Amino acid sequence: MADTLADIALYLQRLGHDRPPPPTLDTLRALQLRHTATFPFETLSTLLRAPVPIDLPAIQHKLLHAGRGGYCYELNRVFLALLRQLHFDARGLTARVVMGGPEDEPTARTHLLVLATVEGQRYIVDVGFGGMVPTAPLRLDTEDVQATPHEPYRITRRDGVYTLCSRVAGEWRALYVFDLQPQADIDHIVGNWYVSTHPDSPFVGQLRAALTGPGWRRTLNDGSVALHRPGHASERRSLPNAEAVITVLQEAFGIRVPDVPGLHAAIEARLRAAPHSTS
């Protein structure tokens, strides 16, 4: 897959830059924070069991022209291409998601993230991890607690395997584990194929959305929408029907919901299947 962004000027404008910024840590911080607040995590395509192409022209069209968001193989894929085009030293890594389960569970490599080396330091960069996406680069070679504009994070290492954790409601929660094994484009293609098509994938036939803002995170899980603010109880409400879900996706997440056959029925099916789901 080619790494050249045809729409880099428009992409940078959406991220608050009229011209290419220098490849500095300040730039990386600003781009990551703005990205997570501009391009929502969303799974409308997998809800509809539609193909999820991850070539750069398809991702750029979806994000920059169709008013959509995406998941890790789209958001981190295009962000990695942007960093490379801005002359950052960056490459993709894959992770095993363990959030909600034991850290040693042998899950598949289904999450794409970015390793960037800036000013002599290695950082983990991620703009595609849904409701718990880090909103700042995280230094790889330290186990210290690291502040972000949202929750604190830390990265632990054992036998060459790293675990990314976040502190939520006073407790440390493991999100995913990863190593530094080099990844080729085919690894991303296979991972994306699994996530978007396999019946055991947590995204196939499911509806998820997430977006960040100053001091808040907003998530949607099927028919439940929630606002999370550090130090406050989450504010949740259930949505009664597909029309309400679509309105929230449009107004609260900034998603241009496509007018495609089967969408209302797919959302209604999720509401019936998980009427008490939470984000």
Rounded distance between C-alpha atoms, residue 255 and residue 249, angstroms: 6
Contact 21, 165 (CB under 8 A): no
Identify any residues that bridge with 99 across adjacent strands, giving them in sequence order. Answer: none
Q: Which positions are annotated as active-site residues?
A: 72, 111, 126
In 126-188, the DSSP E strands lie at: 138-139, 153-158, 161-168, 171-178
Who contacts 133 (Cβ-Cβ below 8 Å, separation ≥6)?
36, 41, 126, 127, 210, 212
Radius of gyration of the chain (CA): 18
Query: Residue 241: what are its φ and ψ, rounded to 5°?
Result: -160, 175
- DSSP-derived secondary structure letter, 170: T
